[in-house]
Amino acid sequence: MRALLQRVSDARVAVDGRVVGETGPGLLVFVCAMQGDGEDEARKLASRVARLRIFRDESGRMNRALLDAETPSALVVSQFTLAADTRSGNRPGFSTAAPPEEGRRLYQVFTDCLHNLGIATQTGEFGADMAVTLTNDGPVTIWLDTQS
């Protein structure tokens, strides 16, 4: 599985002008299941996201994890385009993304794992055309991939 994390002051996702998920200070997590991924990858990725030390400590250093926050929160948005293959031509290919049904299932496993770790979790709408707005804090943007 792949994830693109953005440390945010706030973020929200809307579908057809209706806000379906939002967060205050925390993480915006774009996530994509790849072909061959299973529940183990979803759980491993959720654990890495929750424990990655990218938040400031008292000294201003990135030394705290989402789990260390007073009120940990994340907005999780499915994004199959993280599977883009751009090695040839000008049009990305997405054949390495998991099929939609499996992607949806693993997206839910990932989100449930974050929630079960004590992180207040909201989501976008799987497969929908979404408008995402955010205020990147730092800016801090981190790429994670369970296959590397």
Give the CATH number of the domain where residue 125 resides.
Answer: 3.50.80.10
Given the structure tokens 């925390």, which residue do they identify?
26
Report pLDDT digits (tens) over 132-148: 999 999 999 999 999 86
- Note the pLDDT of residue 147: 86
The answer to whether 81 is a known catalytic residue is yes
- Note the pLDDT of residue 26: 97
pTM of the model: 0.94
Q: CA separation (Å) from 128 to 20, 28, 69, 112, 123?
A: 11, 17, 30, 20, 12
| Selected catalytic residue, list 6, 23, 79, 123 | 79
Instruction: State which H helix or E strand residue 22 sits in.
Output: strand 18-23
Which domain does 102 fall in, by range?
A: 2-145
What single-letter DSSP state applies at residue 60? S
Number of domains in the chain: 1
| Selected catalytic residue, list 81, 133, 135, 147 | 81
Average pLDDT, the chain: 96
Alpha helices in 18-99 (DSSP H): 39-51
- Note the pLDDT of residue 86: 93
The answer to whether 147 is a known catalytic residue is no
